[in-house]
Amino acid sequence: MLKIIAITLTGVMVLICMMTFYAFQTGIAVINVNDKVHSKRVFVPVPVGLMNLGLSMIPGEMLSQVNQELGPHRKVVQSLANELENMPDTDFVEVQGKDQHVLISKNGRNLIIDVQTPEETVYISVPIRATGNIVSKLASMSDRN
């Protein structure tokens, strides 16, 4: 009995390790919204690899809608991701206002959008390659359906 429990636990731990490794390998998208007015904070880390796995669960209707929106730009998005990935770290757009600041930049493997206003701060970090792959996969899946 103990042997079975030990084997099951080892299996679960190996699975968790593999999923963690996969998540880190493919990158983690982070959405962090801080509403200063209502003192609320939303922090969502999303392993993009898991999003990739979840794509197959999207219903057909939604896929055809995605195809309409995404289909024409599929190649552009894919080549954009490739271009971005091979680029040095850069601030692409920076807007500094009297009391607000917007920055779109590339940092390592991530594209970062950072918005700061007196009311709220929004921070979004997206792994470039994984996102490009997802867009491409989404478009190709909707082609098939």
Count of residues binding other proteins (CB under 8 A)?
A: 18
Chain residues 34-73 in contact with other proteins, contact rule CB under 8 A: 72-73
CA 133 to chain centre: 11
Cβ 97 to other proteins, closest distance in Å?
Answer: 5
Q: Which residues of 23-34 are buried (b: 16+ CB within 10 A; e: fewer)?
A: beebbbbbeeee
Which one of the spans 8-16, 30-38, 89-97, 129-137 is the region binding other proteins (CB under 8 A)?
A: 89-97
Among 92, 107, 108, 119, binds other proteins (CB under 8 A): 92
Q: Which residues pair with 25 in a beta bridge?
A: none
* 49 vs 112 by CB, closer to other proteins: 112
Chain residues 93-132 in contact with other proteins, contact rule CB under 8 A: 93-98
* 50 vs 95 by CB, closer to other proteins: 95
**What is the rounded distance in angstroms from the CA atom of residue 102 to the CA atom of residue 91?**
11
Among 24, 36, 87, 119, binds other proteins (CB under 8 A): 87
Applying CB under 8 A, the residues found at the interface with other proteins are: 72-73, 76, 79-80, 83-84, 87-88, 90-98
